[in-house]
Structure 1
Amino acid sequence: MADGRAGRERYSRRRYAYGPYTGGPDPLAPPYDIRSAMDQIGRDVMEGSSPRQALQELMRRGLDDRRGLDDLTRRVWEQRRDLQRDNRIDGTLQEVRELLQRAMEAEQEALRNEDSDDARFREMQLDALPSDTGGAVRELGEYDWRSSDAAEAYQEIRDLLGREMLDQRFEGMKQAMEGATPEDVERINAMLDDLNDLLEHHARGEDTTERFAEFMRRHGDHFPENPQNTEELIDALAARSAAAQRMLNSMSAEQRAELAELAQQAFGDPRLAQALSQLDAQLQGLRPGEDWSGEGNFRGENPMGMGEATRAMEQLGQLDALAEQLAQSYPGARMEDIDLEALTEMLGPEAAADARTLAELERELQRQDLFRRAPDGSLMLSPKALRTLGQSVLRDVADRIADRQGARETRRAGAAGEATGATRPWEFGDTEAWSVPRTLLNAQLRRAGGAHLHGAGGAHLHGAGGDDRRLDVSDVEIVETEQRTRAAVTLLVDTSWSMVAEGRWVPMKRTALALHQLISTRFRGDDLSLITFGRHAQTVDLAELVGLEGVYMQGTNLHHALLLARGRLARQPDATPVVLVVTDGEPTAHLERDGEASFDYPPSPQTLRATVDGLDRLIGMDARFTFFVLGDDPGLAAFTDRLARRAGGRVVNPDLDGLGAEVVSDYLRKRRG
């Protein structure tokens, strides 16, 4: 009992500190935000990209704190650059030269201490050796060393060459052949003979299943890749052999010749070089698709042996393949093409996690049907995508309105109308009356289904008889109301080139999205028409406007847009007509009787008269006007002031960030009369 009491006292004295997670990305955070992704895609589409291009751009940039393909590609190229900048591939040649120098110095020292004709003759032999390392090592193959240190250094040359040549083709062989005996060398030669025999039969199209099994039974310890059949064995060997060839291609002609000469001295047995040469030739014939002709430009100070240099060439090949996968520039490219294991090996697990998240995001965007095919076969944003994008844009607009004076009144817009009998889920900012029956029923159904999760906005409701029900914010439904007066709204947006050139293209489209989302969700009885006007005007749907590309064409034909607005409003005589005009330039075009547009700059008197005539026709319908003037053109400001006075309307000169809030606020103000 005393021990238990002491343990509890120690436990009670512990202190815990809580802080932000610092071990990398938040493990509890959602992997991606669909709404944020749609915001980015929508913005690119509104700037003129196709949905496919916008999706690719999202993958390139990344999302939130997830790195995109561009950043991953940059890191791949940096690693490739560092690998070539820091290393050089003649390490084996350098080590052989150093061992040869050590052997020569030890032998010459021993001969100087001898006073005999034989010693002088041997000195003459050493002086007559070829100047190149390969030739010197070859000539010394039959030399009878007087110095044991020299003989040992020369044997190290032979062993080093054998181990390096094997390490080029077989992983881990350099360590396995450390201190190799003649018996070990014989076993390796037997393995190479059996391997070449297996590949010969396979190349002739014979069934090598039994030969492969027997080969692995005898020599499987040399193949940690654990291939399951001859094809897998060839794949592993060919990749390594091609890398060895690329390493040779990266050397100078003199270095390649020197290595070829030295290869004959590997383990003091020319059979090894012959067997490896035969193996390389067979592998190249079986896997011609491997890169046998590439090379690398190594220019650093760190010398690499033949095996290490071959692995470096393999890394370069993997990095090149990763760069191609990350670029996604080839036909039919998919995020699933990215080799996550190779990415983990080259850049670490966080890079692979970022690529995996992007692939999951791409799949989710496609699964949620956010794109649709246009009649011409191109991708377009689906109605669902436009709704998602509209919700986000409207939320931004509502937040901006809420920051201004009168925000509370704006949020009550539509609440004074008659109840429609319908209900909808409560959203932040709603002030309409709750539908108590629907709210309680939702809570009861949730409890009956066993869902006992309580939201942050939960509240207790204690009914008669001690009934205890817990309401969650997700249970709440509000009564929908309908305004007593319908509005027929025409939004006329300038699509002349100046809107693109001055950065007003996307704010204009976001404004249309916000207004469309508000009317389609909160004021379904109202009608919204979108009319664009450049050299000509046309009525468009929301998807067409969002995907509309800027075209260099002069002309601001407000006259044509007003005529289209009149035609649209005339078909709804029971609705209050509202005309909202967004423009950044004076009218410079008007419609002639034959339907052709006449352009003049500066604006001609005919264009101005035609525009005023189009305005007067709408004034006769008792339309309510607001002109949203972008920029600081004094001519435009003076002209729209005259139009507004003539129509009894308003002129608003918003900044680009506030355009959507101004248009939505003006629409709500007009609905309230």
Structure 2
Amino acid sequence: MADPRRRGRRWAYGPYTGGPDPLAPPYDIRSAMDEIGRDVMEGSSPRQALQELLRRGIDGRRGLDDLTRRIWERRRELQRDNRIDGTLQEVRELLQRALDAERETLGNDGSDDARFREMQLDALPSDTGGAVRELGSYDWRSSDAREAYEEIRDLLGRELLDQRFQGMKQALEGATPQDVERINEMLDDLNDLLDHHARGEDTTERFAEFMRRHGEHFPENPQNTGELVDALAARAAAARRMLNSMSPEQRAELAELAQQAFGDPRLAQSLARLDAQLQGLRPGEDWTGDGNFRGDNPMGLGEATRVLEELGRLDTLAEQLSQSYPGARMEDVDLDALAEALGPEAAADARTLAELERELHRQDLFRRAPDGSLLLSPKALRTLGQSVLRDVADRVAARQGQRETRRAGAAGEATGATRPWEFGDTQAWSVPRTLLNAQLRRAGGDDRVLDVADVEVVETEQRTRAAVALLVDTSWSMVAEGRWVPMKRTALALHQLISTRFRGDDLSLVTFGRHAQTVELGELVGMEGVYMQGTNLHHALLLARERLARQPDATPVVLVVTDGEPTAHLERDGEAYFDYPPSPHTIRATVDGLDRLIGMDARFTFFVLGDDPGLAAFMDRLARRAGGRVVNPDLDGLGAEVVADYLRKRRG
């Protein structure tokens, strides 16, 4: 809104110049379809082409490959920088501090009791867990030693609980015996709730009562027992994976120490029962994996478990981003988890890819085949055809100085004569005749600038319909020599031109390798190259004659695209005969098929790919026999040559 204090000023509006247009769509559907179409024409299935587009990204957006790479980098970073024996290391340091303080106190005491106590300390088990257990009944003389030992028990209890309950480590710092008792009560109630849930009982009331009494320990705020199990099982599975990452000696040491948590073995027993119940309720969680940590940063049990949880989320994200499982969709990607792992920009890129995939499906650019696979829809083929035809038209215009396809849809050719406009006429106005009539009328005293009676239109003659057969070589050499995609683009461009601007014409697409077949455009675009020798132009000419014979009122046009001499022909029994070098029988059969089309007054053009002199000489003989012509285009210009030749023949 304009500032009211500036009402007298003039304002100028222009293009936005502050960077990318903030109102522009985040993706270009046409560009996406061009990329998908290119991959399909190179032999990918539409599903593979869509996945490849999502992997690469589009319009500057990072694709799935880049996002997945960053996920694995984050995973390697966590494993490379950390190790999981932080709690064991801290316990050892506290134990050593307690023993040093106690020995110092005993050393200053010359009594026999002090010597006896020193012998007790010397006889402690060598492993940390056994030493902490033996010291459970020791009467400490040093207050510093007693404090360090109690800190061991407190640390173990808080770490064990922090593995399974978020925020418990901080909440229980300096826990009193009453706090420990309440925790044991919570675990008993929790195990009882899960026991009833596992038996299939309705636990709605039990869950509500449990949350009323112990809800402060569950910041996730689960709404029912199932959600509570989901939250606990994920952490418990991560805790199991953390244990699996330890050496057998470390696991044994930790199990021994767990019995001393808070000086009460009930905690370890309740947690073991809880883990067993959660594994039974959620067997699909990863209970057997490990973290394979190898860094220098020691982590406590709770911190290590959280890192294992993060690794689990990263693994899930990597699977979602892979899109390799049946029925995978970009909507499966957890954007919140992705933003937490890689930042909001990564989530924005994934969201854009999901919107692109959804829009491609919404616009019906794919259709589902009976076998469940994806195919390009007719709309997608039209979109691809428009793009290819634009490129071809640009080449035609550049070569001839005009864009022939822009005037290709008129009803007929101008005769040079004009006539008065009649209601229903769609011909172009003759501007000079119309203006002259208006001037003559005004000279007679009529002051109207223009009247409908002044209008004259250009006379035209109806064009002749054309029945076009495009015969394309699909032998293996077309694939091996990089001619596969240009051939398909040519068919797309010609099909788009005829279907949109010459709707009265008929186009047949005939492929020929060892055998020939008449195909639809979608079949040709999605056709994969197959290693099979044979160039059966004879069979293709027979199919073309059969199709053109159904259009007796149309001018037959035959366009042949090939890169090899005929090396196969169709026998009477329908089998293909192959021989190389070309057999005289194959040559005679091919010429016979050509002569049958010549008898229909067909107009021929042979587009010869490559620089094989033998092929060029053979096609030149065929062209002279048929009164046609031979064109030797480069691959980039193939489509333009075919379209221009079609337009030339159509104009006679």
TM-score tier by shorter-chain length is 0.7 to 0.9
Match in the other structure for 2:478 = 499
Distance 1:422 1:93 in 2: 94
Q: 2:309 aligns with which of 314, 321, 325?
A: 314
Residue identity matched to 2:75: R
Please state how far the C-alpha of 1:164 moved relative to its aligned partner: 0.5
Please state how far the C-alpha of 1:493 moved relative to its aligned partner: 0.5
Distance 2:196 2:213 in 1: 18
> Does residue 67 of structure 2 align to residue 75 of structure 1?
no
> Does residue 610 of structure 2 align to residue 631 of structure 1?
yes
* Contact in 1 for aligned 2:408/2:502 (Cα 8 Å): no
> Does residue 152 of structure 2 align to residue 157 of structure 1?
yes
Q: Secondary structure at the match of 1:403?
A: helix
Structure-2 change in CA distance of 1:18 and 1:58 (3 Å): closer
Q: 1:117 aligns with which of 80, 97, 112?
A: 112
Distance 2:289 2:627 in 1: 76
Distance 1:378 1:207 in 2: 43
Match in the other structure for 2:419 = none
Please state how far the C-alpha of 1:547 moved relative to its aligned partner: 2.4
Q: Which runs of 5+ in 1 are unaligned?
A: 425-431, 437-463, 466-478
Distance 1:135 1:329 in 2: 49
Pairing of 1:189-208 with structure 2 (within 5 A): 189-208=184-203
Distance 1:482 1:387 in 2: 30
- Identity over aligned residues, as a percent? 87
Please state how far the C-alpha of 1:176 moved relative to its aligned partner: 1.1
* Contact in 2 for aligned 1:577/1:624 (Cα 8 Å): yes
- What is the root-mean-square deviation of aligned Cα atoms in Å? 3.3
Please state how far the C-alpha of 1:348 moved relative to its aligned partner: 2.4
Q: 2:179 aligns with which of 184, 195, 211?
A: 184
* Contact in 1 for aligned 2:408/2:501 (Cα 8 Å): no
TM-score (norm 2): 0.86
Structure-2 change in CA distance of 1:270 and 1:433 (3 Å): farther
Distance 2:326 2:183 in 1: 45
Structure-2 change in CA distance of 1:75 and 1:657 (3 Å): same
Pairing of 1:14-413 with structure 2 (within 5 A): 21=19, 27-374=22-369, 378-408=373-403, 411-413=406-408
Residue identity matched to 1:528: L
Q: 1:561 aligns with which of 515, 524, 540?
A: 540
Match in the other structure for 1:526 = 505
Structure-2 change in CA distance of 1:338 and 1:159 (3 Å): same
Please state how far the C-alpha of 1:583 moved relative to its aligned partner: 0.4
Q: Which deviates more from structure 2 when the two are superposed, residues 633-642 or residues 143-152?
A: 143-152
Distance 1:583 1:107 in 2: 95
Please state how far the C-alpha of 1:94 moved relative to its aligned partner: 1.0
* Contact in 2 for aligned 1:32/1:361 (Cα 8 Å): yes
TM-score (norm 1): 0.83
* Contact in 1 for aligned 2:538/2:593 (Cα 8 Å): yes
* Contact in 2 for aligned 1:558/1:590 (Cα 8 Å): yes
Residue identity matched to 2:203: T
Structure-2 change in CA distance of 1:182 and 1:558 (3 Å): same
Match in the other structure for 1:429 = none
Structure-2 change in CA distance of 1:435 and 1:530 (3 Å): farther
Distance 2:390 2:133 in 1: 81
Q: Which runs of 5+ in 2 are unaligned?
A: 415-421, 432-447, 450-457
Distance 2:341 2:266 in 1: 37
Match in the other structure for 1:458 = none
Match in the other structure for 1:548 = 527
Distance 1:183 1:336 in 2: 48
Please state how far the C-alpha of 1:222 moved relative to its aligned partner: 1.0
Distance 2:182 2:560 in 1: 88
Distance 2:589 2:281 in 1: 78
Distance 2:379 2:425 in 1: 21
* Contact in 2 for aligned 1:415/1:481 (Cα 8 Å): no
* Contact in 2 for aligned 1:423/1:435 (Cα 8 Å): no
Please state how far the C-alpha of 1:106 moved relative to its aligned partner: 2.8
Q: 1:509 aligns with which of 457, 463, 488?
A: 488
* Contact in 1 for aligned 2:466/2:650 (Cα 8 Å): yes
Distance 1:378 1:288 in 2: 32
Q: Secondary structure at the match of 1:572?
A: coil
Distance 1:483 1:116 in 2: 128
* Contact in 1 for aligned 2:393/2:405 (Cα 8 Å): no
* Contact in 2 for aligned 1:393/1:514 (Cα 8 Å): yes
Residue identity matched to 1:368: Q
| Count of residue pairs brought into register by the alignment | 614
Structure-2 change in CA distance of 1:423 and 1:221 (3 Å): farther
Distance 1:29 1:402 in 2: 31
Please state how far the C-alpha of 1:376 moved relative to its aligned partner: 6.3
* Contact in 2 for aligned 1:414/1:483 (Cα 8 Å): no
Q: Deviations over 1:161-217 (max 9, x none)?
A: 111111011001111112223332232223223322333343344443333222222
Residue identity matched to 2:504: G
* Contact in 1 for aligned 2:405/2:497 (Cα 8 Å): no
Residue identity matched to 1:609: R
* Contact in 2 for aligned 1:535/1:555 (Cα 8 Å): yes
Q: Secondary structure at the match of 1:63?
A: coil
Please state how far the C-alpha of 1:636 moved relative to its aligned partner: 1.1
Match in the other structure for 2:642 = 663
Distance 1:536 1:113 in 2: 104
Residue identity matched to 1:132: D
Please state how far the C-alpha of 1:588 moved relative to its aligned partner: 0.9
Q: Which deviates more from structure 2 when the two are superposed, residues 225-234 or residues 612-621?
A: 612-621
Q: Deviations over 1:426-477 (max 9, x none)?
A: xxxxxx95999xxxxxxxxxxxxxxxxxxxxxxxxxxx99xxxxxxxxxxxx
Structure-2 change in CA distance of 1:569 and 1:202 (3 Å): closer
Please state how far the C-alpha of 1:374 moved relative to its aligned partner: 5.0
Q: Secondary structure at the match of 1:307?
A: helix
Please state how far the C-alpha of 1:580 moved relative to its aligned partner: 1.2
* Contact in 1 for aligned 2:393/2:403 (Cα 8 Å): no
Structure-2 change in CA distance of 1:599 and 1:212 (3 Å): closer
Distance 1:366 1:112 in 2: 82
Residue identity matched to 1:250: S
Distance 1:555 1:237 in 2: 65
Residue identity matched to 1:382: S
Q: Secondary structure at the match of 2:118?
A: helix
Q: Which deviates more from structure 2 when the two are superposed, residues 318-327 or residues 170-179?
A: 318-327
* Contact in 1 for aligned 2:536/2:567 (Cα 8 Å): yes
Please state how far the C-alpha of 1:398 moved relative to its aligned partner: 1.7
Structure-2 change in CA distance of 1:631 and 1:135 (3 Å): same
Q: Secondary structure at the match of 2:24?
A: coil
Q: Which deviates more from structure 2 when the two are superposed, residues 643-652 or residues 405-414?
A: 405-414
Q: Which deviates more from structure 2 when the two are superposed, residues 232-241 or residues 114-123?
A: 114-123
